[in-house]
Amino acid sequence: MSDHICGAGCNHFSHLNDADLQAEFTEARHSLRANIGGTKTAGKAGSGGVTQRPLPSKKAGENVRHYYIPANKETIHWGYFSKSMEPLLKLDSGDYATIETVTHHSNDDIDRMVKGDPGVESIFQWDAKNKAIDRRGAGPMDHPLGAGGGLGVHVCTGPIYVNGAEPGDVLEVRIVDTMQRPSGNPDYRGKTFGVNVAANWGFQYKNLLTEPKNREVVTIYEVDATGEQTWAKAVYNFRWTPQTDPSGRVHPVIDYPGVPVDKRTIKPNYDVLKGYEIPVRPHFGMIGVAPVEVEIVSSNPPSYTGGNFDNWRMGKGATAFFPVAVPGAMFSVGDPHASQGDAELCGTAIECSLTGLFQFILHKKADLPGTKLYGLDYPLLETASELIVHGFSSPNYLKEYGYSENPGAEIKSSLDTAMTDAFNKTRRFFMDTRNLSEDEAISLISISVDFGITQVVDGNWGVHAIIKKSIFPK
């Protein structure tokens, strides 16, 4: 447990440049799904292939560990957060974990994104007799669309219990590095793929110009797999056709995650976005800790504990800070993206499996006054040059609306209320953590803070405020 607060330039427990750690992640770049050295951890994590090894300590008495968490049916939960889950593993403040995350859209192109990848195959396994991960979403197990109702769609790796974390503390999560997950299919050796879906929950769905109206369109992208180039290119697209899942349910629209797309039912169109190159911004769309208000909750609407807040700045080099709401924090991560625009307009990004190297730092409640983390009740993101405050249409929808199995349907999402929330939080940030008067805070915001539209598709719309760190007194 940490009793230390990181300030600017702080290298708290920092092994960020540890050659051993970097070498391990580089190894992971080339041999995903193979554990990296170390010893199997005990209990549930061990059965999922999680390993751990101590890092060469930089300081006497320090005993920082590096965990490797492959993604497979033992290490993920699908479509929900829950404070009551058995944690995948327990780690200490300062520890690192390399975590594989898998996109819930992999089954939109089974050949490119599932086949030959044992971890992904184990997650998506579903036939008439068996479904590896039955619950998908926070809904009832007898939901007509399938267990969990698809009320929450993301494949989440975790949860991770941080030893010593208690409500009122803040969990800092540093993203040391990211990598795209290569296709496991020998036919696509050395390539990586992702998928964008213009879905029924997208901003465009009821506002289409051309026929047929109310269509959903899936576009498959190839994504630079080397990590050295930075492009994604469209391969083909197709319009969603009714898909019958292995349990016999027909899905006329995309209403349940992980339904395998039967290639024989779709018409691929390869004449798509010829010559266009999309800048790649690998990041985690869904990252956060469990809320205290309910036993189980959809992973779809973002909230004060983070979750699916879909900010593309949540990539390599960024740090997120989450208010801890339950013992151990119960951290999970998923919804990996290769690229997204602010707004995530059509409902998805380039959904693309990623592996991340994370460090976890716990900040105890008593140490927060006088720091930027004081009073934090939302996910705060930090990059090399910016602090990013996240506002939502409903800052804590579980408190505002009470529990509902499909909270996204109840929240009255509007950018106007999200803008008000982003302003309120940014003003409070300057007043509470920088000791500015309200008049100073408001002037500073108007002349130097940029407000952007994080997303309009997650059931609880987001507006973020970007504070440049260069404005602060030196």
Residues that bind its own copies (CB under 8 A): 196, 198, 202-204, 207-210, 217, 219, 221, 232, 234, 237, 239, 272-279, 339-350, 414-416, 419-420, 423-424, 427, 431, 436-440, 442-453, 456, 463, 468, 470-474
Nearer to its own copies, 145 or 266 (CB): 266
Q: Which is nearer to its own copies, 157 or 340 (CB)?
A: 340
Yes or no: say if 39 and 53 are a contact pair by the CB < 8 Å rule: yes
> Nearest distance from residue 300's CB to its own copies, in Å?
17
- To its own copies, the closest distance from the beta carbon of 103 in angstroms equals 14
79: left (phi over 0), alpha (psi -120 to 50) or beta: left
Q: CB-based contacts of 299: which residues, under 8 Å, 6+ apart?
A: 79, 80, 81, 138, 152, 153, 154, 156, 286, 307, 308, 334, 335
Q: Kindly report the CA angle at 257 between 254 and 258, in degrees rounded to 5? A: 110
DSSP assignment of 87-138, as one string? PSEEE-TT-EEEEEE--TTGGGGHHHHTTT-HHHHHHH-B-SS-BSS---SS
CA atoms of 393 and 463, how far apart (whole Å)? 8
Element at 355 (helix H, strand E): strand 354-363
Place of tokens 């498959």: 220
φ, ψ of residue 272 to 5 degrees: the values are -135, 125
CB-nearer residue toward its own copies: 17 or 470? 470
Q: Is the bond leading into 159 cis (omega within 30 degrees of zero)?
A: yes
First to last CA, the chain: 30
Cα 20 to Cα 56: distance, rounded to the nearest angstrom:
8
Q: Which is nearer to its own copies, 80 or 284 (CB)?
A: 284
Non-local (6+) Cβ contacts of 106 within 8 A are 113, 114, 120, 123, 124, 195, 258, 353
Helix axes 415-434, 438-448, angle to 10 degrees: 120
Q: How far is the CB of 273 from its own copies (least distance, A)?
A: 5
Question: How far apart, in whole angstroms, are the C-alpha atoms of residue 238 and residue 219?
Answer: 7
Q: Which two tokens stand for residue 353?
A: 């499996």
Name the amino acid, one letter, at 344.
E
Q: What long-range pairs does 54-59 form, CB within 8 A, spacing at least 24?
A: 55/15, 55/18, 55/20, 55/21, 55/96, 56/18, 56/20, 58/14, 58/15, 58/18
Considering beta carbons, is residue 130 or 207 the nearer one to its own copies? 207
Residue 198 or 361 having the CB closest to its own copies: 198
